[in-house]
Amino acid sequence: MVKHALHKKVKQSYTARFQQPPQLVVRAPGRVNLIGEHTDYNDGFVLPVAVDQAAWLAVGVAEPPLTTVRALDIKNDEVIFSTIEVPSSVGGWADYPKAVLWALLERGLQPSPINAVLASDVPVGAGMSSSAAIELAFAFAWVTLGQFDISLPDLALLCQKAENQYVGVNCGIMDQMISACGKAGHAMMLDSRSLERRYFPMPEGVAIVVSDSMVRRSLAASEYNVRRAQCEQAVGHLQAYLPEVKALRDVSLRQLKQFGRDLPEVVFRRARHVIAENDRVVKFAHALYGGDIAAAGALMVEGHRSLRDDYEVSAPELDALVEAAVEVPGCYGARLTGAGFGGCTIALVAEAAVPEFKAHIVTAYNERFGKQPAVYVTHPADGVAAIQ
């Protein structure tokens, strides 16, 4: 494996700051979601890939009781907190390692105090799960150094709990699970209820192209939690007619139309998106398995329209990127990826068409909004691991 530039950077910075080499360097990837948006917290299906962009953490055991973490991407910002008690939340990047520590303490484990240096090339606020990458990096480091018996799927659940209950973002399990369990060259279909995972190889000759709108949003401050509450409202209403329903995953479109007539119009549309999106994930997986990339691409465009119109989490910049993408011959489909409200779009593009695709996206976006999107090709990567 060719060493990543951030691998060397965090090792060198750790050695300079703490006057000894790190015991461990951990890489935890970000992700893009091919399809299945806002379905995971509804017990549904998602189909993400772990990506090249990742959080890198050089780490070693420190003298008790204090943990020291330096973030190279944030002007060498450094935080110090105790590992023997729950640290206070002050907001910002440092809440993610603190949240993981809290979750480990909640589990009855006593993590070692650590010295750590963090760097990441996962864009922050772009919908590529920069927070989950940081959580998994710290969780993996503490579990490895402490020799705790926690599987990767269980580690993902621990990090989800950390983000839900400490950070205060009611995310589903997708981001943490793909960062933990991604597989190079493959997309992972995840059943968010059973946590069953199936891997589908990405087709040869097809690139995953991410276009960053450069519109940033704070997930905790966005309407993410509002959408989740609206889905729960729909479930509560439908349970009066369908007692077996536990989540929107259990409802068909026919049942929604039959029993959801009295729902507020906006709540009905939220539920319609989730139910239809679950169906799109299953169809997309079948298309990948059968090598029908055109069908997969059409499902992406359909999903974007649903996110725009029924779930209302798109933005003019994201819509413009999708519109520009599908104008290019060789683009099979495009959609926003992540929670929305800004961030990135994702497109499946024939590799031969990538140069033209990138040029067209940049020109069209700049003409409309007067700014440059970041456009780059990414590849399905492995999940969290120690990198020697």
Which residue numbers are catalytic?
175
Greatest alpha-carbon pair distance for the chain in Å reads 67
d(CA 26, CA 138): 8
Residue partners of 27: CB distance under 8 A and separation at least 6 = 4, 7, 54, 55, 56, 57, 137, 384, 385, 387
The number of residues in the chain equals 388
- Peptide bond connecting 65 to the previous residue in cis, omega within 30 degrees of 0: yes
Measured in whole angstroms, the distance separating CA 44 from the mean position of its chain's CA atoms is: 15
d(CA 202, CA 384): 20
Three-state SS annotation for 120-176: ECCCCCCCCCHHHHHHHHHHHHHHHHHCCCCCHHHHHHHHHHHHHHHHCCCCCCHHH
d(CA 306, CA 271): 11
Radius of gyration of the chain (CA): 21
